[in-house]
Amino acid sequence: MLSTSLGRNILIVKLGALGDFIQALGPMKAIREHHPLAQITLLTTQPYKELAYQSGYVDTIWIDERPSIYQVVKWHNLQKCLRLGKFNRVYDLQTSDRSSSYFKLFSNTEKPEWSGIAKGCSHRHSNPNRNFMHTQDRQREQLQVAGIFLVPPTDLSWMTSDVSHFNLPQSYGLLVPGGATHRLAKRWPAKHYAELAAHMNSIGITPVILGSSAESDLASNILKLVPEALDFTGETNLLDIGAMAKSAKFAIGNDTGPMHIASAVNCPSVVLFSNESDPELCAPKGQKTTIIASKSLVDLNVNDVLTSSIFE
């Protein structure tokens, strides 16, 4: 067992995606508290750099370029960095084929203790049902194998950003109509978001639309019906989303990363799931979060959302 009384070199691996990264912040906090004197490095991808720094859970951040199998030089450089890190223990919170392969980049004589699913690692999470567990439960059990028994849920109360330049109204609600472009069935139709925005506007709550610049067409469809809505697609970073959600009346959106942020800052949230993803495995678990699941989001009407607790 790795002593927590001495300063050691710890590596956490968490590459993405956004929702998964948010859900891993509770385990990261647990690792930080378990190794209070350690030098902790996070291996992640560029989108999560600022979020990770602001969390205070890690001391150093390395960016993984996720080289393809043919980029031999980049693989060599990654291997060199990992070996020079002199890590005593690695917590692989990604637990993918890619991240597990990093275990093989260490020489047999210098392999660190490893929490993950890599074959031959010291603290392997070998539960055969791990893929049928909710993300947070799975990572909590993984860390128990490594001797960490207190793993809190994700808490983003520390998340801050100056959003004054957005000139937000006093009363507003967030709409997140987008999501992964390769899984369009996870999106509630834009026309329904437009109807929802119209209802919000009628009760004095300004609709604020968030998303990437690639989702600006969804915002345009909403604005056609509700020109009073505010379109900030492509204009916010992750910290901005958290700051906006803290002051919002509520947030409504698809199963996508920004809704995990809204849920984790304790914004009253409604997250819409189709059969493209299973809320039992990946839904945000905020105290004020409501999950609405429908086999097909095309069949989910506006009244189903309006009857949720945030409109009571």
Asked whether residue 3 is assigned to any structural domain, the reply reads no
Asked whether residue 268 is assigned to any structural domain, the reply reads yes
Q: Are residues 112 and 185 in the same domain?
A: no
The torsion angles phi and psi of 271, rounded to 5 degrees, stand at -115, 130
Q: Are residues 133 and 193 in the same domain?
A: no
CATH code where residue 140 lies = 3.40.50.2000
Q: Are residues 174 and 292 in the same domain?
A: yes
Q: Are residues 73 and 124 in the same domain?
A: yes
The domain boundary, picked from 111, 145, 179, lies at: 145
Asked whether residue 2 is assigned to any structural domain, the reply reads no
Q: Are residues 174 and 245 in the same domain?
A: yes
Q: What is the pLDDT of residues 218-233, one digit of tens each?
A: 999 999 999 999 999 9
Q: Domain range holding 53?
A: 9-145
Q: Are residues 279 and 178 in the same domain?
A: yes
- Length of the chain in residues, anyone? 312
Asked whether residue 157 is assigned to any structural domain, the reply reads no
Asked whether residue 266 is assigned to any structural domain, the reply reads yes
Per-residue pLDDT tens digits of the chain, which is 312 residues long = 344 434 589 999 999 999 999 999 999 999 999 999 999 999 999 999 999 999 999 999 999 999 999 999 999 999 999 999 999 999 999 999 999 999 999 999 999 999 999 999 999 999 999 999 999 999 999 999 999 999 999 999 999 999 999 999 999 999 999 998 888 999 999 999 999 999 999 999 999 999 999 999 999 999 999 999 999 999 999 999 999 999 999 999 999 999 999 999 999 999 999 999 999 999 999 999 999 999 999 999 999 999 887 876
Pairwise CA distance, residues 244 & 187, whole Å: 22
The torsion angles phi and psi of 276, rounded to 5 degrees, stand at -75, -20
Q: What is the pLDDT of residues 151-198, one digit of tens each?
A: 999 999 999 999 999 999 999 999 999 998 888 999 999 999 999 999
Q: Are residues 129 and 185 in the same domain?
A: no
Six token digits for residue 199:
């209802």
The domain boundary, picked from 86, 111, 145, lies at: 145
Asked whether residue 267 is assigned to any structural domain, the reply reads yes
Q: Is the pTM of this model over 0.85?
A: yes
In the chain, the number of structural domains is 2
Six token digits for residue 266:
């304790």
Q: Are residues 119 and 88 in the same domain?
A: yes
Asked whether residue 159 is assigned to any structural domain, the reply reads no
Pairwise CA distance, residues 139 & 143, whole Å: 6
Contacts for 202 with CB less than 8 Å, ≥ 6 apart: none
Q: Are residues 70 and 107 in the same domain?
A: yes
Whether 25 and 142 have beta carbons less than 8 Å apart is answered as no
Whether 266 and 248 have beta carbons less than 8 Å apart is answered as no
Q: Are residues 139 and 170 in the same domain?
A: no
Pairwise CA distance, residues 69 & 296, whole Å: 37
Q: Which residue has the tokens 């539960």?
A: 127
Asked whether residue 90 is assigned to any structural domain, the reply reads yes
Q: Are residues 197 and 300 in the same domain?
A: yes
Q: Are residues 104 and 180 in the same domain?
A: no
The domain boundary, picked from 145, 172, 193, lies at: 145
